[in-house]
Amino acid sequence: MSAAEDGQRFDYVHHLQLDKLLTAMRPVSGHPEEHLFVTVHHALEIWFKHILFDLGRIVTLLDADDLHQANWLMRRIGEILKLAEAHWTVLETMSAADFAEFRGQLTGASGLQSRQFRQVEVMIGLCETAGEAYCARTEKLWPGLIAEYPRTLRGAFFDVYKRHGLSLLDVYRDRWTHHALFQLAENAFEIDRRFQSWRHNHILMVRRQIGIRARGTGGTFFKDYLAATTAYYFFPELFEFRNDLTVAAGGEVMPGEA
Ligand code: HEM
């Protein structure tokens, strides 16, 4: 229903539903620094929602072989992830001493419980690369979440190269001829590497706020739990085949996998 049909004047407040958005701040501690803590979480959840929205569009575009539009949106996701990461330094302006003063009142609340974060991971394709334990843990915490994304970005991405009958190495070697396919791989690489960077910098921020050996409000000793997540790759192939480029150029690569 449009604003006019709704009998309301269409304006900035109505369009953005600011009455809903700006009443979502519910601090539990009375500590003034909790405001920033909640704001940063809200901002990231809003971006996760937008990433999910654009991922759906990208998968459809890739399946239709509309590489130009898909590339445009893929680049945007990389930029959003860069922006997401920039929140860590803002959050670090809340001192560890301040956080310690209200952290106890967050009881069991933790980013670990962000369903949207897990949706983003699964929709890009993490369940296909992170191993059984990751998928089992996700399924246990959010039954049915994985089944919501039968078509992942990863699946749609590799099907494009199959349809074109080209390997990543072919595309990189002849990148100006197959420019859209080259750009697609670079954009996917960028999403992967930005996500990893977000994870690494989240860990550095957590160390600063609660110490290296502390237990998180979600119940994990993050030193082990979060460190394990830094080994996740959405597109390990895009990292792996760079070794082939090095070998082809006469360089040396140690045996094993990423
Ligand atoms: C003072 C700030 C923060 C601290 C101390 C912190 C701490 C932690 C810790 C210790 C964990 C491991 C799980 C646990 O035991 O709780 C975790 C996980 C997580 N946090 Fe944060 N966090 C902070 C801010 C944020 C923000 C602003 C977000 C944005 C949404 C966020 C998103 C996440 C996510 C998504 C996970 C799960 C990661 C995964 O499973 O791969 N965190 N956090």
Q: Is 99 in the pocket of ligand 1 (CB under 6 A)?
A: yes
Q: Going by CA atoms, what residue is nearest to atom 35 of ligand 1? A: 111
Distance 40 CA to ligand 1 centre (A): 12
pLDDT tens readout for residues 103-115: 999 988 999 999 9
Instruction: Check whether 7 has a pLDDT greater than 80.
Output: no
Q: Is 197 in the pocket of ligand 1 (CB under 6 A)?
A: no
Q: Within a 10 A sphere around the Cβ of 54, how many other Cβ atoms?
A: 14
Q: Going by CA atoms, what residue is nearest to atom 33 of ligand 1? A: 111
- At 217, the amino acid letter reads T
pTM above 0.85, yes or no: yes
Distance CA 153, CA 60 (A): 9
Quick check: 200 and 230 in contact, CB under 8 A? yes
Distance 111 CA to ligand 1 centre (A): 4
Taking 3-state DSSP, the helix, strand and coil percentages for the chain, each rounded to the nearest 5, stand at 65, 0, 30
Quick check: 245 and 239 in contact, CB under 8 A? no
Mutation test residue for ligand 1: of 118, 138, 202, 222, the one with most atoms within 8 Å of CB: 202
- What confidence score (pLDDT) does residue 255 get? 87
pLDDT tens readout for residues 162-217: 999 999 999 999 999 999 999 999 999 999 999 999 999 999 999 999 999 999 99
Instruction: Check whether 3 has a pLDDT greater than 60.
Output: no
* All domains of the chain in start order, with CATH: 35-248 (1.20.58.480)
pLDDT tens readout for residues 123-166: 999 999 999 999 999 999 999 999 999 999 999 999 999 999 99
- What confidence score (pLDDT) does residue 6 get? 63
Atom of ligand 1 nearest to the CA of 229: 41
Look over the chain and give the mean of its residue pLDDT values, rounded to a whole number: 95
Share above pLDDT 70 across residues of the chain, in percent, rounded to a whole number: 96
Q: Going by CA atoms, what residue is nearest to atom 2 of ligand 1? A: 206
Mutation test residue for ligand 1: of 31, 115, 204, 206, the one with most atoms within 8 Å of CB: 206
